[in-house]
Structure 1
Amino acid sequence: YRLDRNQLVDSSCPHLASGIRTNQTLRILSLSYNNLQGPHFCDLMAALTTSRIEQLHLVNTHLTDSSCPHLTSGIRNNQTLRTLNLSYNNLDGCHFSDLMAALTTSRIEELHLYNNHLTDSSCPHLASGIRNNQTMRTLDLSHNNLQGPHFRDLMEALTTSQIEELHLDRNHLTHSSCPHLTSGIRNNQTLRKLNLNENNLEGPHFSDFMAALTTSQIEELHLSDNHLTDSSCPHLASGIRNNQTLRTLDLSWNNLEGPNFRDLMEALTTSRIEELQ
């Protein structure tokens, strides 16, 4: 059921609530590109707990940190909701931790937090949400700003999660994040897809990340537009040489031209890569 772009506002939430409360047939509800932020948003979230909705899309609905307690009540112990899309909102703040805590008792498998103004200070809360979480499979944190000392907390929690797909594109990550990325993927047996597009990973620690790739189970790695140069090619080569799991590698929009590019191409011959961009 799609009600995207209907100029719905907070005062519509009680009516939406009456429509989904005890509704046993509705499985997908999309309310994206409306303006639901306000005091009545809590009515909608309360009704969510007695519905059978499996997918809820709230993209760009002007939600802020003050919406997090209401979102929390909607997903805590909710046994039906599987996909929650909160992209293009502004959830960073003191109540974001409540939402992440509730995540641990939900059954959500797919969470989208694309472009939510999240910063490094959000990482400990994100970590608590995914640590030992047995249902979450896909986490989209693209277009935030997670670079900083607490990024390490998120990567450490990744190792005990069940996440298979992680999106960290355009997060202002630099080569100083590579040791933390390394700890997140080294010997990680669940992560299959990692998107790091549009960061800036070129630098001396990039080699650590590539070394860890060889003991991961990653099948799809995206490194488009990461300011990688010819000097990164030996490290890329060590990451893919005899790598038995990697199938897709995206290196587009970098600057790999130079004498070391040959190393990368030679390593390709002993890899299992099926798609190279």
Structure 2
Amino acid sequence: MASKGNWERHTYCLYGNDLTDSCAEDLASALSTNRSLIDLNLDYNKLGDSGVKLLSVALRNPECKIQKLHLHGNNLTDSCAEDLASSLSTNRSLIDLNLDENKLGDSGVKLLSVALRNPDCKIQKLDLNFNGLTDSCAEDLASALSTNRSLIDLNLGGNKLGDSGVKLLFVALRNPECKIQKLDLYGNDLTDSCAEDLASALSTNRSLIDLNLDYNKLGDSGVKLLSVALRNPECKIQKLHLHGNNLTDSCAEDLASSLSTNRSLIDLNLDENKLGDSGVKLLSVALRNPDCKIQKLDLNFNGLTDSCAEDLASALSTNRSLIDLNLGGNKLGDSGVKLLFVALRNPECKIQKLDLANTALTDSCAEDLASALCTNQTLRILNLGLNSFTDQSVPALRRLILTCRSLEEIWLQKNWISCGESQLEPLQGSRPGLKVLL
């Protein structure tokens, strides 16, 4: 282990260093005596249960000042959970614990939940993604959420809680004592069967502002129920992720109505769905509504074509809040993006980040792009990667980079540009902080 002098820093990263339980006793000694170390990253090592049991002894030492401990991917099972739980119940400084990609299972999390119910537990952020959890531990977790006063960020992605498990969690969210602000339920086999319970929780909870439901199976029927909650003025959600939920244009009108009325939602991720042109046309109506507060909208891989581009362009020209729009992986083509570029010339357009990667662009639209951006004063990041620009577009791209003074990053990877290193990369020196990524 490092000497005492080498440990006199606030943060120490030992990520992926093939550490095993043989060094745990020395590490525990350092944690028990060091007064400055507050952030320790031990992700992707092989400490195992025996190693973490030794660390837990140190965590229970009142002299241990660690605030953030990462044990992601360390082959941990329920065998060490009781020791960890004891640490959570007694340690006064630890507020952030990452246990992602271990094998704690339901039995392990039940033990941790006992600690979370302890009023002396100070943990604020707990990561339990990919730990083999099912609905069997949900009641214990729900009880912890209802009583814990410090936990505000809980990540349960990549488990198999299912509808029955999350319904129990949503009961806890309706409890006024629940303080959770961020909840990650990514990839938990959720369907529309739990949507009504979730909608009820969103309508009553005053603390939850960030909800990740990516890669579930809520479908149009589930999102229609969520949209009712989003229209409720009591709903405080600011960030909602619905990436990969089998959504189509059937739910778009309900979502659009939510965008037009909700005053808190500023970040909506709809990537990898099947909204299509008809769905995005409906969303565009909402974006033109002056009451729409959305700032970031992800529509990557939604089967869009140039048919919806005019509607999107109109929205970009009038919306005062949208600053980050992601349209990658659609087939807008030159004709579609030319319409978007007209909106970029409008001084009312507030877009700062625009992702057009993999949207079937060619040299045919390069001049229009350069012309649109020569007067734009807001765009900071532009992604044009994975398209079909060639050396023929280089003069227009040079002009774009030099004249768009707000531009900080332009992404051009995986196009057909052979002279980029000589003609475009040197432009990075034209102003401080400019990045040209080829």
TM-score (norm 1): 0.92
User: Equivalent of 2:69, from 9, 29, 32?
Assistant: 29
1:122-133 → structure 2 map (5 Å cutoff): 122-131=165-174, 132-133=176-177
Counterpart for residue 191 of structure 2: 147
User: Equivalent of 1:53, from 84, 94, 97?
Assistant: 94
Counterpart for residue 368 of structure 2: none
Counterpart for residue 180 of structure 1: 225
Give the CA deviation at 1:143.
2.0
1:1-277 → structure 2 map (5 Å cutoff): 1-23=40-62, 24-51=64-91, 52-76=93-117, 77-106=119-148, 107-131=150-174, 132-161=176-205, 162-186=207-231, 187-216=233-262, 217-242=264-289, 243-257=291-305, 259-272=307-320, 273-277=322-326
| Alignment-mate amino acid for residue 31 of structure 1 | L
CA distance in 2, matches of 1:134, 1:70: 20
Give the CA deviation at 1:78.
4.2
- Larger relative CO (CA 8 A, sep 6+): 1 or 2? 1
3-state SS of 2:122 partner:
coil
3-state SS of 2:318 partner:
coil
CA RMSD of aligned residues (A): 1.9
Give the CA deviation at 1:100.
1.7
| Alignment-mate amino acid for residue 319 of structure 2 | S
CA distance in 1, matches of 2:177, 2:309: 40
3-state SS of 2:200 partner:
helix
CA distance in 2, matches of 1:160, 1:78: 27
Give the CA deviation at 1:261.
4.0
3-state SS of 1:56 partner:
strand
Give the CA deviation at 1:155.
2.3
CA distance in 1, matches of 2:84, 2:308: 57
Q: Is the 8 A contact 1:46 1:73 kept in 2?
A: no
CA separation of 1:4 and 1:258: change in aligned 2, threshold 3 A:
closer
CA separation of 1:61 and 1:251: change in aligned 2, threshold 3 A:
same
CA distance in 2, matches of 1:93, 1:9: 25
Q: Is the 8 A contact 1:178 1:206 kept in 2?
A: no
CA distance in 1, matches of 2:52, 2:159: 22
CA distance in 1, matches of 2:53, 2:142: 25
3-state SS of 1:150 partner:
helix
Give the CA deviation at 1:192.
1.1
Unaligned runs of 5+ in 2: 1-39, 327-438
CA separation of 1:218 and 1:262: change in aligned 2, threshold 3 A:
same
CA distance in 1, matches of 2:248, 2:313: 19
Deviations for 1:35-86, whole angstroms, at most 9, x for unmatched residues?
2213342122112111021000001111211222211112113442111011
Give the CA deviation at 1:174.
1.1
Give the helix-richer structure, 1 or 2.
Answer: 2
Structure number, greater radius of gyration: 2
Give the CA deviation at 1:95.
2.4
Q: Is the 8 A contact 2:256 2:285 kept in 1?
A: yes
Give the CA deviation at 1:225.
1.2
CA separation of 1:259 and 1:17: change in aligned 2, threshold 3 A:
closer
CA distance in 1, matches of 2:308, 2:70: 49
